[in-house]
Structure 1
Amino acid sequence: MVRTIMANKTQFKMTKYKRYLILLSGLLSLAAMETKAQTAGDNTYSGRVTNAKGNSMQSVLVTVKRTGVATSSGKNGEFAIAGTPGDTLVFTRNGFRSIWRVAGKSSAMSVIFAESDVMDTEEDYVGIPFGKRTKRELNYAVSSASTDDLPKLPISNLTSLLAGRYSGLLIQLTGHQPGTENVGFQVRGKSSYTQGGDPVILVDGVERDFSDMDVTEIESISVLKDAAALNWYGLNAGNGAILVNTRHGKPNQNFITFDVLAGFQSASKYVKPLNSYDFANLYNQGLSNVGQSPAYNQAALDAYKNHTDPYLFPDNNYLERFLGKTAPVQRYNLSLGGGSERVRYYTTISYYNQEGLFKETKTDDYNANFSYKRYNFRVNLDYDVTKTLSLSLLAGLRSERRYDMGDRTSGVLNTLYNLPPNAFPILNKDSSYGGTSVYQNNPLGQIQSTGTYNVIANVLNVSLAAKQKLDIFTEGLSANIFFSYDGYGNYSHGFTMNYAVVNQAVTPSQTYRTPAVLAYRYAGFGTSTKNNEVWLGLDYDRVFAQKHKINASVRAQQSMSAAVDRIDYRGRLFVARADYGFNDRYFVGFTGSYSGSENYAPGRRFGFFPAVSAGWVISDEGFLKGAKWLNYLKLRGSYGRTGNLAPTYDANGNWVRLPYRALFTRGAGPILGSSFSSTTTAYEVSPTGNPLTTWEKIDRLNIGADLSLLKNELSLSADVFTEKRIDILNSANMPGILGVGVSAVNYGQASSKGFDMGAVYQKHIKDFHFLLNANFTYAANKILRQSLPSGTLAYQSPVDHNIGNVALSGTKRFYVSQGLFQSQDEINNSPKQTLSGLVVPGDIKYKDVNGDNIIDSRDAVNTDYTDIPNVYYGFGLNVRYKLFDISAQFQGVHGRTIDIKPVVYAGPNGLNQLSKEAWTIENAATASYPRIGITDNGNNTANSDFWLRSGDFLKLRTLEVGFSLSEKTANRLRMQSARFFVGGFNLLTISKLGSGIDPETPDAGIGSNYPYMKTYTLGISVKF
């Protein structure tokens, strides 16, 4: 039966890939025909593009809006493009306002560009909290981009697509399991050594998660980096902010798009397991190294090698049998948008489905393979009720469904990775599950006989906004109200079941575990969370005498988050923002917020956080007007104090809510009375509260410049920043005589400084258009002050070192290694190593740091090794030639360190393929790792720099190659446009590590973690 299932699956896979190949070959044939059709097309519009002086303009991009077909003007400003009457032609060039022309019956047209150093078209606006500014007006440090160029790849975590695209923003994957991929964020590194530190995510101005949104829901993303931008959110954006704006309909631009994508994810980068023969040999070697007798005699080794008895001497490859190399993934999306000048709408519906890697999961009762399904629905409506009153409704709904086996994915992976290959036969001769008293988890039993565990999670995000113009009082004044409601709930259900395992290698046979028949699992609702915010305020936008421009806003906000299993979170905020521009050349601004939280003691809950900014468009000055090499240059700067509502943890790492309060608990008291019975009493919990607890304070300075060169083909933005953070929460070192500790004290200090920059270069040459983007960030941090336990040695102090611990080891204090001991004489003539009871040749040799001739805890040294890179960068390209296009985006990091010890010691009893590189007498001079030790191996497993490796990498994050139908063919098919494409995610990694370890997620494929995944997809996007 198993062989039949495997054969059917193999046949299905071959059929599936054949379908992909046939479809791909068909697309290539169609591409060839369409290229020829376009060349021979006779519906052509031609003309000449000039500036206001009549001079020809080269490299102006001409796009047919309906189809996306594009060309560019030549040296004489001339262009020619296929189109039909009624088409809208869009003429764009960086640094100039876009021009739209409707094609008529005449095929000739003339287009004149009005010169402007910086565009003020819609594409040139940057999203800021509850507002927009043109790049010319903006003094803030903001990285922004439209999401139109993001690939529509079928991956469950949208944030992964942003990696390497924004200066100052680091996005790091930390897991690969479908639907639960973890992604970490950092804005300009990290300047606090407390837990947390992620930037706040704001969707349409409200703190929300956007990782499980569909890419079609999002219009733009801005990364806020300096005090002038962040202080709008008071205490809630001390670590930076990511501002996400959803799409809205445009008047008289009606459309329907439909996307279909299908592909597969491929598992890679996990350490291969050992077969039974190699495992037994290495196990014997590990015992011999510590003077113990071998566990397997020669007869057993021969039986494993020759497979003479698969029941007494099994040889299992669990990964090959139960974990597939690929898993299918698919995504479907339908979007509608448009409307009139008075009513605009945008609606999108999408479905995403990703299967797990497990095999042999189907039974007569259920399929236990892990899968993740998601349904996204969004509707955004904008309605101008009157000429002065406008309303907006923004509603998003997501339903996520996770289907898992009863022992969960992590439990099954733990067995597959860590069960010895010779532990037992998976099935005994009588088809019962194999097992022993030590190993009672049978992987086939876990997959097929533990039932299912399914979770449905629903998320509702709703925002209502109203704007009333108050020009009757003064021109440019408006009143605003904004209300949001977010609800989250989950529902779990499934089946329960259990199985027995039988050890038939002993007489009489032994049975373990208690079998249970299939039954319904308890079904019920889990966590239910409700969040809401209310914003009330006024805006004032006005221009006086065509030279003085004022943009001002004032808001009051109240927020609340409620759940049945915790105390509600509440916050209040009063904020004002004012920006003034003179002659569209000189700009100054102020942002200030008065923000508070109930997490602090009464009377200490609110603080004021001001910031100022200024900008100067120096290229408008007379002394630079004649500079032909320079098209635009703006200098800007900001300075301010920001607050950060940091989480509080006690000395044991437990999160503390309301840290200013002293808590009491109930327990046994003194023994009283004639019966000597104990009483019940109450006593103060240690650590006790600290009423002086307050927020972190951050002083931020940012100086930046924006410029355009080479006739606006090259755009650059660069910022230098520095910040100092004080009042970082530390564990309190109280004298033991007090008998009680304090939860935390505001004592720590840290600093961060660096620079970031972004660049875009685009060029249009006839039918060829390309755009290159690049960004670079350098951020160095240092701990200036931290409370430490008494007696801490100077070289073990973290002060004056950087922030962050080494990945996988969770520390930055290491012993200094000096190679491997090669002989007993070398051990005898070296300082005594006390980290383990046994030190033999092949063990790691450590440096005696304090010179006492003993290696102990006082020889561990605090270092600057960290998992937080001090450099991260990205670069990419978008190239289009006639009907073909290609895009790619790379991401890289530098200055990151990982600990490979958990990888080397992964697998059953710490043995895997890497164990073959361990020290022996024969390979003593070339061994990569210490000798194998089954027991008494503490000397080699101690945290030391022997195991540290560079975590630097360069990754090809996304790649997409597309082909579009010509306008003529699309019209025949009653479509505006159609595009076919192939793409991938995480396709290539360049690093100094071996092929079995990923530098970004080194724990992928070990322990109980999902393997590293790559994504390949084929899709079509049609627009009507």
Structure 2
Amino acid sequence: MTKYIKCFGMFMSLSVSFTGLALQAQTLNIKTFSGKITDEKGAAIDGVEVTVIGSRVRAGSDKNGGFAIKGMSEDSLSFSKAGYKELRVAGKDRADISVVLAKSNGADYFNELVDIPFAKRTRRELNYAVSALKTDDFPKIPVSNLSSMLAGRFSGLLVQQTGNQPGTENIAFQVRGKSSYAQGSAPKLLVDGVERDFSDMDINEVESITVLKDAAALNWYGLLGGNGVILVNTRHGKARQDFINFDIQGGFQKVENLVGPLNSYNFATLYNQGLTNAGQAPAYNQAALDAYQNQSNPYLFPDNNYIDRFLNKTAPVQRYAVSLGGGSDKIRYFTNVSYYDQNGLFKNTQTDDYNSNFNYKRYNFRVNLDYDVTKTLSFSLLAGVRSERRTDPIGGGGGGTAAVLSSLFTLPPNAFPILNQDGTYGGTSVYQTNPLGQLQNSGVYKAITNVLLASISAKQRLDFVTPGLSANIFFSYDGYGNYTHGFTQNYSVVNQTLTPSQTFRTPAVLAYQFAGFGTSTKNNEVWAGFDYDRTIGDHKINASARAQQATSAAVDRIDYNERLFVGRVDYGFKNRYFLGFTGSYSGSENYAPGRRFGFFPAGTIGWVVSDEDFLKPTNALSYLKLRASYGRSGNIGPTYDSNGNLVRLPYRALFTRGAGPILGSSFSSTTTAYEVSPTGNPLTTWEKIDRLNIGADISFLNNSLYLTADYFNETRTDILSSANLPGILGVAVSAVNSGKVNSKGFDMSVLYQKNLNGVNLSLNGNFTYAANKLLEQSLPSGTLSYQSPLGYNIGNVNGAGNKRYYISDGLFQSQEEINASPKQSLSGLVVPGDIRYKDVNGDNIIDSRDAVSTNYTDVPKAYYGFGFNISYKLFDISTQFQGVYGRTIDIRSLVYSGPNNLNALSLDSWTPATASTARFPRIALTDNGNNNASSDFWLRSGDFIKLRTVELGLTLPQRLTYKLHMQKARFFIGGYNLLSFSKLKDLNMDPETPFAGRGNNYPYLKTYTLGVNVKF
């Protein structure tokens, strides 16, 4: 960490030096500029921000449009307001200035620059399928994972939260659905062109995010871009636009959708019911039930609510950030420093030696410098340092937070008293884990993760060779390391209900846990090549050629190496007709020599139809562009063995040493080497994706309503599958390229922007539909036609590769119904209250041949988002919703979660008295194979609509902030995940993360925040 801090100190020193150069005081005479600001119809405009360019001097126009501002005689002024085009005026020797501001329109939208790999293009020029947003309008909500802010904002991008624990919230991405059943189908995450995770970045560091979706955009990255790319670009300083920005936010996270705990009386009653259903004697007599209900003896008949005792309903969260930027035409800078702190939910964690409550802290540092060394040579340094600190209860056995949650959610409420009468920890021979002991006498684990991300680039213009030509080089170095330490301890538990009492577990005094450095990872990339950007009359050419070498090294694995040669040419004629080509020659050492490289071409075409004489723009249709792309992409895709372990160099046969044959008269075995199974496959290759994209960009209603729509059709071949070889061979092959999947659909985004009598209104929406079908896959011989996955989608409900389900037909209500039905052979015990299944093949037996392939999947068929930003005078409000459709979840394990598979949902289980209203099968403590089978009885809709973010702000009047020498001061309240609409409300489950608050999973959280932003 020390070396990272030293690097950061150097960057900060450079930043301060450059800031001083950029902000040198001027010595010209001061004068006052004044005038009036009106719109195109002559009406006065108030609230216009007037800025002396290159300084922090600002003023605002009054209700009559008048303004006055002090500056130097040679200064220029900037006039800006939301809904109007920015206007810059040279002051010179003028004292009175009349300004007319024009309202912004859609032409500006299509002339906005969009980031693509190592370049920028206007939306008008782009033929690619991309979704791009600036982050200026993103809410400032303190969440530990920046990725969650992307939900519902980009067409074609599915953002799914899969975990809730602070600092480790897992976010899964998919671009245009799923088109491969092999593992490793997530898109690549790139920051400033380098493969990096951006989830732990601070929101202030990010300027824009672009999602690349079609072959023309993705083929720049060769084998790495097959599943889509999310391109994140960090902020840079702008000449003569100096600022200092402070952000302060504090709030709390609130628990939702916790599993309902049972009290001891209900637990014992349901436990008896489970035994009775199986023909066994009850475990609890009436006296015990009465004691639990009356709580007459809490030591002999304890009644624990572990959740109330050890889990808070809320936890605090806070974020602080300061950023500054600006500079001159020669030197520009941006710097950001932030601190994030989030506590866990555990109670009773403070001891004299440590606090075992979960805690996550993060420090982020960012310095971006751009320096024009000469008129032809420019230089950039982009550097980020991040340090994360996690505190976790050891929880016994090293299980951490998950181990404690498992105790809270799965221990029977009557297992033991938390504390015995003499103050010792309660426990039994069966239940030896005590939650209080886990939190106060098991120790604490602390981990520090340090990250250094650095990139340096240089651009040399070569106009002396030919105008528009430049040479470029880019180098990145990323270092990741971690350090762990803490305390260990152990406790004993005592069962005082026995005579004599018995003690379990071996206590251990407080001791230092082993401290040391973990695996250190170092990644670096080099890109070098040429760019050619030139306009000659009606012709515009943008061309790039690059070579790349990337290496990722760690001490505990083989290095990863990739090499790439790529070229891109975009041509425009009259800014109306556009052609493009991208081609890459990409390779990886993961494949056999001679089979390591492939060529991935893609072509594009675009036509601005609205520029033609036969379709001149009107108020109804202001702009229309048609575009298309087609190409072949590649996906390197990791290879896994049958146990889910990653296989490196899958083309090689690997050998190990072990016992060999018995030789000689002593019958002793020899040591020999033998081939590891599965063996390598030298023909292993990458997935190939043929991609077609047809799109349109349209503007309606005098450039107020914008629509972008794309149709896509992709066929992916050579997907890795298990090899079905005859057993006589005696060895298995790691994988074979035998799969084929087709994926097609459409995505679209809509944006409406309008200024209505002083109300600035912005509405956004996006929708994606993606359907896939499995066309080819190697299958075991003898697979029944109705059990074949071919022709169905490739998603799975339970994530374990199972697409087959039994078809349920209600619950058996009597033994007579069971006797009259096909024989149920899925379990040894079938009694009234069990699930009845359909005999699919008609053999009068319910067995594995009655499970059928289905289209149920946890990958949604469609996903969408919508929201708005509205501002009026001092007030503003913004929201963003996200929804998914066509997703299915399996609630079987959720219904059976809790102590002995019992929880509040068990109260809705079948009994003879509740036969007509029961939602779930009978309670069974053992021999429950029939009801636990994978069947559609347990499937539920996982569709939802969520209010992801909401923020309400109040901006102080300009006349006040300018007097305080501020650009802006804003107070706001906000929230994350505040509302959810689904069909699972009656089950008290979150449809996106249904396992949250069950088993050993962290509870679902809502975030509420209050903040202030001040800009100087």
Q: One fold, TM greater than 0.5?
A: yes
Partner of 1:999: 991
Q: Deviations over 1:220-274 (max 9, x none)?
A: 0000000000000000010000000000000001100111000000011121110
Q: Tell me the equivalent position of 2:201.
A: 213
Pick the aligned partner of 1:540 from 532, 543, 546: 532
* Counterpart in the other structure of 1:15: none
Q: Tell me by how many angstroms 1:83 deviates.
A: 7.2
SS of residue paired to 1:915 = helix
Q: 1:233 aligns with which of 221, 234, 244?
A: 221
Distance 1:405 1:436, change over 3 A: same
Call closer, same or farther: CA 1:977–1:736 in 2, change over 3 Å.
Answer: same
Cα 1:867/1:107, change in 2 over 3 Å: farther
The alpha carbon displacement at 1:944 in A equals: 0.6
Note if contact 2:45-2:64 (Cα within 8 Å) is conserved in structure 1: no
Partner of 2:432: 440
Task: Give the letter for the 2:228 counterpart.
Answer: G
C-alpha displacement of 1:902: 1.2
Residue of structure 1 in register with 2:210 after alignment: 222
Give 1:977 deviation, angstroms: 1.4
Secondary structure of 1:692's match?
coil
Q: How far does the alpha carbon of each residue in 1:105-132 deviate from its partner, in whole angstroms, 9 at most, with x for none?
A: 96762326599973389x8100000000
Provide the rounded CA distance (Å) in 2 between the counterparts of 1:68 and 1:624.
44
1:313 Cα deviation from its structure 2 partner: 0.3
Q: Distance in 2 between the 1:808 and 1:554 partners?
A: 41
Structure 2 portions without partners, runs of 5+: 1-32, 72-76
Map of 2:642 onto structure 1 = 651
Task: State the Cα deviation string for residues 283-334 of structure 1 (Å, max 9, x = none).
Answer: 0000000000000000000000001110000000000000000000000000
1:179 lines up with 2:170 in the alignment: no
Whether contact under 8 Å (1:60, 1:92) holds in the other structure is no
Q: What amino acid does structure 1 have at the position aligned with 2:860?
A: P
Letter in 1 for 2:324: L
What is the CA-CA distance between 1:832 and the residue it aligns to? Answer: 0.6
Do 1:90 and 1:101's aligned partners in 2 also have CA atoms closer than 8 Å? Answer: no
Q: Distance in 1 between matches of 2:46 and 2:127?
A: 29
Of the three residues 479, 483, 491, the one matched with 1:487 is 479
Query: Conserved in 2, the CA contact under 8 Å of 1:60 and 1:91?
Result: no
Alignment-derived partner of residue 711 in structure 2:
720
Change (3 A) 1:67 1:303: farther
Contact 2:428 2:494 in 1 (8 A): yes
Where do 1:396-415 residues align within 5 Å?
Answer: 396-407=384-395, 408-415=400-407
Structure 1 residue 790, shift from structure 2 partner: 1.2
The question of 1:90 aligning with 2:101 is answered no
5+ residue gaps, structure 1, are 1-42, 73-77
1:914 aligns with 2:905: yes
* 1:697 alignment counterpart: 688
Task: Encode CA deviations 1:980-1011: one digit per residue, 9 max, x unaligned.
Answer: 00000000000011251000000101111000
Deviation at 1:461, TM superposition (A): 0.5
Q: Which moved more, 1:706-715 or 1:161-170?
A: 706-715
Report whether the alignment pairs 1:477 with 2:469. yes
- Distance in 1 between the 2:926 and 2:58 partners? 66
Shift in CA distance, 421/577, structure 1 to aligned 2, threshold 3 Å: same
Structure 1 residues 64 and 896, CA gap change in structure 2 (3 angstroms):
farther
- Measure, in 1, the Cα distance between the counterparts of 2:277 and 2:316: 46
Question: In the alignment, what sits opposite 2:17?
Answer: none
SS of 2:883's equivalent? strand
User: Matched residues in 2 for 1:690 and 1:994: separation?
Assistant: 49
**Counterparts of 1:509 and 1:415 in 2: how far apart (Å)?**
23
Aligned to 1:133: 121
**Which residue of 442, 455, 463 corresponds with 1:450?**
442
Query: Which AA in structure 2 matches 1:578?
Result: V
What one-letter code is carried by the residue in structure 1 that aligns with 2:200?
D
| Alpha-carbon distance in 2 for matches of 1:659, 1:686 | 12
Taking the aligned partners of 2:163 and 2:547, their CA distance within structure 1 comes to 39
* Residue 68 of structure 1: how far off its partner (Å): 11
1:617-653 CA-partner distances (Å, limit 9, x unpaired): 1100001125332211111110000000011122333
Q: Aligned equivalents of 1:584 and 1:742: distance in 2?
A: 54
Matched residues in 1 for 2:635 and 2:242: separation?
Answer: 44
CA offset digits 1:16-37 (Å, max 9, x no partner):
xxxxxxxxxxxxxxxxxxxxxx
- Given the alignment of the two structures, is residue 359 of structure 1 paired with residue 333 of structure 2, yes or no? no
Query: Does residue 569 of structure 1 match 2:560?
Result: yes
Question: 2:98 is paired with a residue of what secondary structure?
Answer: strand
* In structure 1, distance between residues paired with 2:608 and 2:743: 28
1:51-62 to 2 correspondences below 5 Å: none
Q: Which amino acid aligns with 2:591?
A: Y
Q: Deviations over 1:784-820 (max 9, x none)?
A: 1111111111111111000111147763211100000
Q: Which moved more, 1:948-957 or 1:626-635?
A: 626-635
Of residues 478, 498, 503, the one that matches 1:506 is 498
Partner of 2:25: none
After superposition, the Cα gap between the structure-2 partners of 1:511 and 1:534, relative to the gap in structure 1 and judged at 3 Å, is same
Does the CA-based 8 Å contact 2:617-2:623 persist in structure 1?
A: no
Counterpart selection for 1:639 from 614, 630, 633: 630
Q: Is the 8 A contact 1:88 1:103 kept in 2?
A: no
Show the 5 A alignment for 1:203-352: 203-352=191-340
Q: What is the identity, as a one-letter code, of the residue corresponding to 1:710? A: L
Q: Does structure 1 retain, via aligned residues, the 8 Å contact 2:611–2:617?
A: no
> 1: CA distance between counterparts of 2:106 and 2:121?
16
> Number of residue pairs matched?
969
Partner of 2:100: 111
Letter in 2 for 1:89: F
| Structure 1 range deviating more: 673-682 or 184-193 | 673-682
Mapped partners of 1:1010, 1:714: distance in 2: 42
Q: C-alpha root-mean-square deviation of aligned residues, in Å?
A: 2.1
TM-score normalized by structure 2? 0.93
One of 138, 151, 170 as aligned partner of 1:150: 138
Could you tell me which amino acid in structure 2 is paired with residue 548 of structure 1? H
- Indicate the residue corresponding to 2:594 in structure 1: 603
In structure 1, what is the Cα distance between the partners aligned to 2:103 and 2:140? 35
The 3-state SS of whatever aligns with 1:1003 is coil
Identity of aligned residues (%): 68
In structure 2, distance between residues paired with 1:230 and 1:453: 42
Give the 3-state SS of the residue equivalent to 2:631 in structure 1.
strand
Tell me, yes or no, if structure 1 residue 1021 matches structure 2 residue 1013: yes
1:955 aligned to which of 946, 951, 963 = 946
Q: Which amino acid aligns with 1:118?
A: A
The offset of 1:671, in angstroms, is 1.3
What is the DSSP-based 3-state SS (H/G/I as helix, E as strand, rest coil) of the residue aligned with 2:946?
Answer: strand
Compute the displacement of 1:196 (Å): 1.7
Q: Is the 8 A contact 1:61 1:92 kept in 2?
A: no
**Secondary structure of the equivalent of 2:108?**
coil
> Residues 898-937 of structure 1 correspond to what in structure 2 (within 5 A)?
898-937=889-928
| CA deviation string 1:519-555 (max 9, x = no partner) | 100000001100000000000000112x100000000
Looking at structure 2, the residues matched to 69 and 294 of structure 1 have their Cα atoms a distance apart, in angstroms, of 81
Contact persistence 2:39–2:45 (CA under 8 A): no
| Distance 1:92-1:477 versus aligned 2 partners, 3 A rule | farther
Structure 1 residue 81: Cα displacement: 7.5
CA apart distance, 1:973: 2.8
Please give the alpha-carbon distance, in whole angstroms, between the structure 2 residues aligned to 1:952 and 1:114. Answer: 41
1:307 to 1:116, Cα distance in 2 relative to 1, 3 A:
closer
Q: 1:507 to 1:708 in 2, by over 3 A?
A: same
Deviation at 1:414, TM superposition (A): 0.5
Deviation at 1:766, TM superposition (A): 3.2
CA, structure 1 residues 106+900, in 2 after alignment: closer, same or farther (shift >3 Å)? farther
Task: Please give the alpha-carbon distance, in whole angstroms, between the structure 1 residues aligned to 2:44 and 2:703.
Answer: 12
Matching residue of 1:383: 371
Distance 1:70 1:823 in 2: 81
Bigger mean CA deviation after superposition, 590-599 or 966-975: 966-975
Q: Does 1:100 align with 2:88?
A: yes
Kept in 1: contact 2:44–2:65 (CA 8 A): no
Any idea what the Cα deviations from partners look like across 1:462-485, whole Å, max 9, x if unmatched?
000000000010000000000000
* 1: CA distance, partners of 2:157 / 2:61: 33
In the alignment, which of 19, 39, 45 is matched to residue 49 of structure 1? 39
SS, match of residue 268 in structure 2: helix
